[in-house]
A and B are shown apart, each in its own frame.
Chain A
């Protein structure tokens, strides 16, 4: 018979001492239930990727709806897409891609411990996000003026439509329903993104981050890249084809 089985023993190695209640646990940003900073960082990244997985599936429903209706009414979709402003959409794409660059650079500067640069890059990202929303606002304004609204509110006003574009079939309300849902849900995510970016700017300003601990910046950046990823698909599918 073996003697040494599930013997409660002090944790092997690591920053933790013999059992609890004894000695210093580690740096103050190391949570009590983690043994090492690497464990905490890895867990945070893993958890964030699992969360991003669900975000992707959340948007996937909208893309499937898009796919189904595009398949059924290809001409209607083409005609409706002409009413969207390609130039504003492309500008928004470049703005978001640039914001992805700045937040990636912000993570990098946090990794090397450059607090000032990190703060400036986060602010730049926030500015890009706001610019995105402003452009979106003007796009929506144009849709409202033209009566290009979802479902039962679809009443196009000929004088506000794009000239020379194909005529809009009767069921174009479906396209605009999908358009507003997709861009609207995406826009809500941009808004939430601004919120969390402001939060990590504040924390960075406070001096919470260092070469050793930059996890929240990394996590928020991952969220922001997802927002960019969704738009990378949204833009061509709605505006360009």
Chain B
């Protein structure tokens, strides 16, 4: 038997279809796991078991309601970037993550003089002034005043949805385009 793609997460031939169904979202019916199972050939108990295993093994980082923050008034979405010396980046990131208004923090490669930044964080807020003051708080609180930085607010969201990783099954998503 040939190996399934995305081993070790997928160990059963039905797993890719179950994952795809999960990325589309749980059906809003009384027995959602049974409905998903019916589509992919698993029983309800097997679906629950697979999802539990994926959660324990870390494939599912969280399972729950995925909110569209822009629709809920969170329109001040800032990507803040810094050029932090490589030797200090982990330590600084640890301090950044202490701030509850920071939702994501990543290290990425620099790209020459036009993009010298290697540390990224995301802040989602309701109004721009408050987010700007949170950024100042972050820079001072984490001792980052000396490093080059840029703040990129998003002005329009053209698309926001869960990733679809299985290229053989492509469905049009109702949520694929969110108006500005």
Bound together: no
